Amino acid sequence: MPDLEAEDQKLVVLARSSRARIQAPEGAAVRDTDGRTYAAGTVDQPSFKLTALQAAVAAALSSGAEGIEAAAVVSEEGLLKGASVHAVRDIAKYAPIILAAPDGTVLEVLER
């Protein structure tokens, strides 16, 4: 398990909180290139679905973020969905994406 810097650990905490608050399968958080953070949970509506990371990226972009510095996903499945990875990679090719278990244990850090 990789050790995280404080700012990246904060993303995991925010992602865990988002997941727990709405009892979603996933929670996610992103930090933009200005240092602002955005958190979201899975969106599962009859007319549209978003992974938690897609929702967090959408929140960042709709707030004027110009780039993503890092992202974190907390998932009970223990895997990163392709759509989640693509949401970050569309904006930031090399931003780390942290995958953590619901208890906050870091499972993986995807660098590319």
- What is the extent of the structural domain holding 99? 6-110
Q: What is the 3-state secondary structure (H, E, C) of the chain?
A: CCCCCHHHHHHHHHHHHHHHHHCCCEEEEEEECCCCEEEEECEECCCCEECHHHHHHHHHHHCCCCCEEEEEEEECCCCCCHHHHHHHHCCCCCCCEEEECCCCCEEEEECC
Q: Is the pLDDT of residue 104 over 90?
A: yes
pLDDT at residue 50, rounded to an integer: 97
pLDDT at residue 27, rounded to an integer: 98
pLDDT tens-digit profile of 11-34? Answer: 999 999 999 999 999 999 999 999
pLDDT tens-digit profile of 34-62? Answer: 999 999 999 999 999 999 999 999 999 99
Q: Looking at the domain assignment, is residue 1 inside a domain?
A: no
Q: How many domains does the chain have?
A: 1
Q: Is the pLDDT of residue 2 over 80?
A: no
CATH classification of the domain holding 35: 3.40.140.10
pTM of the model: 0.94
